[in-house]
Structure 1
Amino acid sequence: MNVHEILRNPDEHVRFAAYLDELGLVADPDEVDLVGRVLTDPDRTMARSAVLRHLDRRADGLYPGPAYDGWARTMTQAVIDHPFLAQRLREWALFRAVTLELPWQPDELLASSNWLQLKTAAGTNTEAIEMLAEAGRTRRIRNTARTALDHRGLALD
């Protein structure tokens, strides 16, 4: 099924599922074009949700490896007119830096979304987890970080 066929279906739930299927199968050279076409759906919220799910799925599989940087640059250009999607890609870059122990700024993590703080709190970087156990934005983030530290035998004093 192509995007034009998907667009003919009036049910946004059916279109959402079809977009996810198409995005999950797209070849790398066609990914930017498909993301752009999905984002033309009249239901902009649903279209952005489908692309967000795709970006998360792809970033999660790519972030530890060398292909991530090129993919992220390409996808950032593809979603440049969609601030929430561009922000998610920036947060994936920060998550990657924290997880792989590349240079990162604590203030950036503390200013990041609940999504990124929670994902990082359940992660592997002890410095970031300790920081979030103390200063995470929500009780859930702080508790997740404390639990992660407890499981490592690194409970805060």
Structure 2
Amino acid sequence: MSSGAVSADSGWDPDEHVRYARYRRAFDEVAPVDAVALVARVLTDPDKGMANSAVCEYLDRRAAELLADPGYPSWYLEMAGAVVVDDFSTRRLDEWTLLRAMTLDEPWDTNSLLAASNWLQLRTAEKSSAVTVLEVLAENGRTRRIRNIAKSRLSAAQRSIPAGPEH
């Protein structure tokens, strides 16, 4: 489905719930080559909250699929241009890039993780097995829940590290 499938001249509906459902279907069916145009089009919707929700749902799905893929950096650059008009979508895309760096054990900044949204901190605390990441969140995560999950996973991760040779 091309991005034109959700354009005003193809039956734009004044009900944002109908538009949201249409956007979700369009994102489910969009070819990668048409995704940037679709994201840009959806972000022109007058209901900004609904539009960035639809876009972030797509970003979440696609970023998760590409997280460890070598194609992620080029996808990120394409999407960054399309979401630049929406602070929420831009932040979500940037947080996926931080998550990628932590996942692939690439350089990342502790302050970026601490400034990240509850969404990213919680997702990271729940899924990461990286000791350094979990230590940061166990000590300084934004919420008690994030800190507790990180502490629990940190303890499990440390138990799974084989002990060095004894002297």
Code of the residue aligned with 2:7 in structure 1: it is H
In 2, Cα distance between the equivalents of 1:54 and 1:23? 6
Code of the residue aligned with 2:36 in structure 1: it is V
Q: Identify the match of residue 138 of structure 1 among 139, 143, 149.
A: 143
In 2, Cα distance between the equivalents of 1:100 and 1:24? 27
Structure number with larger C-alpha Rg = 2
In structure 2, the CA distance between the partners of 1:7 and 1:85, relative to structure 1 (3 Å rule), is farther
Report the CA distance between 1:126 and its aligned residue.
1.4
Q: Residue 97 of structure 2 corresponds to which residue in structure 1?
A: 93
Please tell me whether the aligned partners of residues 43 and 86 of structure 2 are also in contact (alpha carbons under 8 angstroms).
no
Report the CA distance between 1:104 and its aligned residue.
0.8
Structure 1 gaps of 5+ residues are none
Code of the residue aligned with 2:142 in structure 1: it is R
Q: Residue 4 of structure 1 corresponds to which residue in structure 2?
A: 7
Report the CA distance between 1:16 and its aligned residue.
1.0
In 1, Cα distance between the equivalents of 2:54 and 2:123? 20
Post-superposition Cα deviations, 1:47-73, rounded to whole Å, max 9, x if no partner, equal: 111001111110011011101000001
Code of the residue aligned with 1:132 in structure 2: it is L
Q: Residue 53 of structure 2 corresponds to which residue in structure 1?
A: 49
**Residue 80 (1) aligns with residue 95 (2):** no
Report the CA distance between 1:151 and its aligned residue.
3.4
RMSD: 1.7
Code of the residue aligned with 1:10 in structure 2: it is P
In 2, Cα distance between the equivalents of 1:88 and 1:78? 13
Identical-pair percentage: 50
In 2, Cα distance between the equivalents of 1:151 and 1:15? 45
Code of the residue aligned with 2:92 in structure 1: it is R
The normalised TM-score by structure 1 is 0.90
In 1, Cα distance between the equivalents of 2:24 and 2:129? 29
In 2, Cα distance between the equivalents of 1:125 and 1:60? 18
Please tell me whether the aligned partners of residues 7 and 15 of structure 1 are also in contact (alpha carbons under 8 angstroms).
no
Q: Residue 38 of structure 1 corresponds to which residue in structure 2?
A: 42
In 2, Cα distance between the equivalents of 1:10 and 1:120? 38
Please tell me whether the aligned partners of residues 68 and 100 of structure 2 are also in contact (alpha carbons under 8 angstroms).
yes
In 2, Cα distance between the equivalents of 1:38 and 1:27? 15
Q: Residue 162 of structure 2 corresponds to which residue in structure 1?
A: none
The normalised TM-score by structure 2 is 0.85
Displacement over 6 Å in runs of 4+: none
